[in-house]
Amino acid sequence: MAIQRVGVVGCGLMGSGIAQVVAAAGFETTVREVNAELVEKGLKGIEKNLNRLVEKGTITDAAKGQIRSRLKGTTSIDDLKGCDVIVEAIIEQLPAKRELFSALDKICPPATIFASNTSSLTITEIATATKRPERFVGLHFFNPVPVMKLVEVVRTIATDPAVYEEMVAFGVKLGKTAVRANDSTGFIVNRLLVPYLLDAIRALEEGVGSIEDIDNSMKLGCGHPMGPLTLLDFVGLDTTYYISQIMFDEFKERRFAAPPLLKRMVLAGWNGRKSGRGFYDYSDPANPKALKF
Ligand code: 3HC
């Protein structure tokens, strides 16, 4: 099957990034949000990103126009029924994802391939909300999606190998390095990343070093683009807490257990950059200040 039309469900941080790279790769792209304000907000963010690329000379103004013309926003799920592939990037909650795919399953032709961008839920459990688990994969992108060069392509025991190969090739067409992963909670990246991030919080709790010193150690000592506590603020402390709970529930291993400090910060609403405060205070976003605990 030649993939031409792609649907993206959810136009938040991840969905808008996915819609942008899909449209930039030449696919007719329809992105769906639950109301007109969210559609507009998502498309505005994409417009801003594309303008930045034009300003930097990465793409021409004409190329930007073509990308925009391939990209349509909608609030109606029915507008996705002509899509060859649908990528879901909605709220990270199993019932919401199952409900969405069950509805899509009823309106889409049998050939349509479904993909979820979940970071920690079990693909098999989402896929079984449909009558086509053999045409269901995980496509896990990384934030910021237009910049990060990886996509994890996840197969379940029910995924048809031909569909899987098609989706690996689709990931490559999006300009990403597509790695193959089985449907194990957290796949490859979060399996390794989450214990590392949680350990950085444990190191802070135990007084091994300050926020800045822990971050600088991993940035300068290991060549990471961001230190772990900065990365936690970037990913979102609430998101990390949620992922850690799912992973702990699956593996029952301490390395996936949320440290008490993480839980308390989330309870206090200190969710990282998006809430203005996490391990750093973002009152002046260009000059974050590490908190003292
Ligand atoms: N959208 C689009 N482009 C962006 C962007 C965004 N949100 N943020 C930065 N960029 C672009 C910039 O325009 C710039 O492009 P250029 O090189 O063509 O000029 C480039 O990225 C570098 O940006 P900056 O110079 O402003 O800043 P940095 O050099 O510090 O890079 C970063 C920013 C790319 C975010 C870098 O710090 C980084 O790679 N951090 C680690 C991010 C990471 O680990 N993400 C994965 C998180 S885990 C995840 O998503 C999985 C989930 O399941 C938890």
Q: Whose CA is nearest to atom 35 of ligand 1?
A: 144
**Residue 237 lies in domain:** 190-290
Give the pLDDT score at 217: 98
What digits encode the pLDDT tens for the residues 117-144? 999 999 999 999 999 999 999 999 999 9
Q: Phi-psi category of 229—alpha, beta or left, where left has phi over 0 and alpha has psi -120 to 50? A: alpha
* 151/200 same-domain check: no
CATH of the domain at 279: 1.10.1040.10
Q: For residue 52, which atom of ligand 1 is closest to its CA?
A: 13
**Mean pLDDT, residues 82-105 taken together:** 97
**Distant-in-sequence, close-in-space partners of 128: CB < 8 Å, separation ≥ 6:** none
* 43/118 same-domain check: yes
Percent of the chain scored above 70 by pLDDT?
100
What digits encode the pLDDT tens for the residues 38-56? 999 999 999 999 999 999 9
- Cβ-count burial of 242 within 10 angstroms (0-12 exposed, 13-18 middle, 19+ buried)? middle
Give the pLDDT score at 160: 98
Chain-centroid distance, C-alpha 255:
22
pLDDT band at 232 (very low <50, low <70, confident <90, very high): very high
CATH of the domain at 80: 3.40.50.720
Task: Examine the pLDDT at 226 and tell me if it is beyond 90.
Answer: yes
* 176/196 same-domain check: no
Catalytic pick among 16, 190, 244, 271? 190
User: 152 an active-site residue?
Assistant: yes
What digits encode the pLDDT tens for the residues 168-196? 999 999 999 999 999 999 999 999 999 99
* 282/242 same-domain check: yes
Q: How many helices (H) and strands (E) are present in the chain, helices listed first?
A: 11, 10
Residue at a domain's end among 119, 152, 182 = 182
The CA–CA distances, whole Å, from 229 to 186, 242, 270, 272 equal: 20, 17, 13, 9
User: 182 an active-site residue?
Assistant: no
**Mean pLDDT, residues 274-281 taken together:** 97
154 beta partners: 138, 181
* 247/140 same-domain check: no
* 200/175 same-domain check: no
* 107/221 same-domain check: no
The Cα–Cα gap between 159 and 180 comes to 13
Give the pLDDT score at 247: 98
Q: Whose CA is nearest to atom 12 of ligand 1?
A: 147
**Mean pLDDT, residues 257-280 taken together:** 98
Give the pLDDT score at 293: 76
* 173/194 same-domain check: no
**Mean pLDDT, residues 240-252 taken together:** 97
pLDDT band at 113 (very low <50, low <70, confident <90, very high): very high
The Cα–Cα gap between 108 and 237 comes to 36
Looking at residue 62, the DSSP 8-state letter turns out to be H
| Structural contact between residues 88 and 115, judged by C-beta atoms closer than 8 angstroms | yes
Residue at a domain's end among 182, 203, 230 = 182
* 142/224 same-domain check: no
Q: Whose CA is nearest to atom 31 of ligand 1?
A: 225
**Mean pLDDT, residues 74-92 taken together:** 97
The Cα–Cα gap between 166 and 3 comes to 9
What digits encode the pLDDT tens for the residues 13-37? 999 999 999 999 999 999 999 999 9
Q: Which structure tokens are listed for 103?
A: 């509805």
Give the pLDDT score at 27: 98
Q: How many domains does the chain have?
A: 2
* 86/225 same-domain check: no
* 24/129 same-domain check: yes
Give the pLDDT score at 9: 98
User: 140 an active-site residue?
Assistant: yes
Give the pLDDT score at 292: 85
Pocket of ligand 1 from Cβ distances under 6 Å: 49, 52, 56, 58, 119, 142-144, 146-148, 190, 225-226, 231, 235
* 60/200 same-domain check: no
